[in-house]
Amino acid sequence: MKVTCKWCKKVFYCSEECMEHDSEYHEEICFGLDNVREWNAICKPKKDARMGMTGIRNITNSCYLSSSLQCLSHTVGLTNYFIQGNFADELNLTNPLGTQGKLAIGFAKLIRQLWLEDKDSVAPFQLKSIIAKFKNQFNN
């Protein structure tokens, strides 16, 4: 059974698990700036989406991260800003002190999972790995 990337619809995987493992490498293609600007057309809420009622699973010692993300997720203006893709125009991809937009894109992806997909809970592995890549104290 082939599985298509749920974001860009351009890449095929052998399974959901395979897609999740490849997401870090595929992100550059899938979440390029052009795709971010087109998110409104790509990501419509599913008919039975949980609309913010999705939980965030703790991964190892991340209860503070999970609770912070839930608080940010329920800040209406911020969530709308990321769901609608408005943040893409304000990304600073060249700041040597920043994350080249990766943190914002990772957060937007998580917000879309929380608000537009039909899942009971989401584990923020990808966002945590982005944070750890730029701040070593969050590694492991």
pLDDT in tens, the chain (140 residues): 677 776 566 677 777 777 766 665 565 556 555 555 555 444 555 555 567 778 888 877 778 888 899 899 888 889 888 888 888 888 888 888 888 888 998 899 899 888 888 788 888 888 888 888 888 877 76
Looking up tokens 């914002």 gives: 104
The confidence score (pLDDT) of residue 6 equals 61
**Residue 30, token pair as written in the block:** 């899938």
| Confidence at residue 94, expressed as pLDDT on a 0 to 100 scale | 86
- Give the C-alpha separation, 4 to 128, whole Å: 24
Rounded-to-integer distance, Cα 124 and Cα 56, Å: 7
* DSSP for residue 96: T
For the chain, domain boundaries: 47-138
pLDDT value at residue 35: 53
- The residue type at 69: L
Question: What is the per-residue pLDDT for 72?
Answer: 92
Number of DSSP helices (H) and strands (E) in the chain, helices first: 7, 4
What's the distance, Cα to Cα, between the start and end of the chain in Å?
A: 33
Contacts (Cβ under 8 Å, ≥6 apart) of 17: none
The pTM for the full model equals 0.67
